[in-house]
Amino acid sequence: MPTPSIYAARRFHGEKLPPSPARKGTWKLSSPIWKRNTVNYKIFGRIVCFTRGVASQRAPEELLELIKTASESPLRVIKEITNPHEIKRTLKVSILPWGDLCLHEYRWDPRRVALSPFRLSRGERTWHYYEEIQRNNIIVPEPLMLVELKTVFFTTITYVTTRWIDESLKLEEIALHENMPSSCNSESILHACVDTIARLHNAGFVHGDLKWSNILVINERDPRIVLTDLDALKKSSSASLQSKDFARFLIAPANSSLSSATIDLLIERYLKNRHTSRSFLNTTIRRYLANNLSPHGKYGSCLPSQ
């Protein structure tokens, strides 16, 4: 078995990454933030691992076995694969010494397998962008392990584990129990969500799926916002994509639709926090809402005023 190849944090697929600032009590700037290990696995196969912290001390085969064992007896099934067109399974698992983790398992279909040598997988994008997102004061679940099974050059299965976030509620769950945004708590939560999305866009990212079930809220009275389900996350400063990204957030669940006045206030707050293209953003956001919140639109509901 070949010796695992270990690369420093600024080496990823041959690309130079910007230096990450030192964090007190965790690592020095000159130390590797994460490691990349590759070992042979079965016939024509490889295991590719990206790891942080204590996971970096484990062999790839050991990490794969830990993940497989945990997936067979999860603490909770969050999302199961129910038909041949689905590829993602999400579980709450417990793996020592990390404790409770969120495990995402991707079983790639033939089309994605064929394209895998030419692009980053969803798990790799999450790993690749995590440090930059954190530097911009945006909270996302911390990825701890990324394990991919490859046959020759093709990725067939991807496992991603992130820290489990306790004492949090989905924005969708809060909306079902409160008359949003009439209460003070709900107003501060919505404002915190808008500010977080604006920071994400100013940093040059698009989330890609800002529905309320993908937004976690920690401490409703002094809310901290966590963006989850980063499968569609990508680097883009496109004002068109970012405005549609924000507009998707404004389309609340059916039982919690926002009033036109509230939507106007949230758009105004978002535009104030943006650095450029405010007029274009405003126009594109409202056009997207008009198309999707009309009686015949995808999310038929109330329309915002102009």
The string of pLDDT tens digits covering residues 137-166 is 999 999 999 999 999 889 999 999 999 998
Q: Where does residue 44 fall: left (phi above 0), alpha (psi -120 to 50 degrees), or beta otherwise?
A: left
Q: Average of pLDDT values for 176-190?
A: 72
Task: Please report the pLDDT score of residue 276 as a whole number.
Answer: 82
Percent of the chain with pLDDT over 90: 57
Give the sheet arrangement for strand 215-218, strand by strand.
168-170, 215-218, 224-227
**Two structure tokens written together for 56:** 């970096």
Task: Please report the pLDDT score of residue 58 as a whole number.
Answer: 85
Distance CA 91, CA 104 (A): 7
Q: What is the DSSP letter of 197?
A: H
Q: How many CB atoms lie within 10 A of CB 219?
A: 11
Distance CA 199, CA 292 (A): 25
Q: What is the pLDDT of residues 15-70, one digit of tens each?
A: 333 433 333 322 222 334 566 776 666 666 899 998 887 777 788 899 999 999 99
Bridge-based pairing state of the strands 205-206 and 154-163 = unpaired
Distance CA 262, CA 250 (A): 9
Burial class (CB in 10 A: 0-12, 13-18, 19+), 174: buried
Q: Average of pLDDT values for 80-87?
A: 89
Domain at 168-293, CATH homologous superfamily: Transferase(Phosphotransferase) domain 1 (1.10.510.10)
Q: Average of pLDDT values for 230-258?
A: 92
* Domain boundaries of the chain, sorted by first residue: 11-163, 168-293
Higher-pLDDT residue of 86 and 38 is: 86
Task: Please report the pLDDT score of residue 35 as a whole number.
Answer: 67
Q: Choose the most confident range, by mean pLDDT, from 186-190, 238-242, 297-301.
A: 238-242
Distance CA 165, CA 146 (A): 18
- 178 pLDDT exceeds 70? no
Find where tokens 């912290």 sit: 53
Distance CA 64, CA 146 (A): 10
Contact indicator for 299, 293 with CB cutoff of 8 Å = yes
Find where tokens 């010796």 sit: 3
- 299 pLDDT exceeds 70? no
Three-state secondary structure call for residue 56: helix
Task: Please report the pLDDT score of residue 179 as a whole number.
Answer: 53
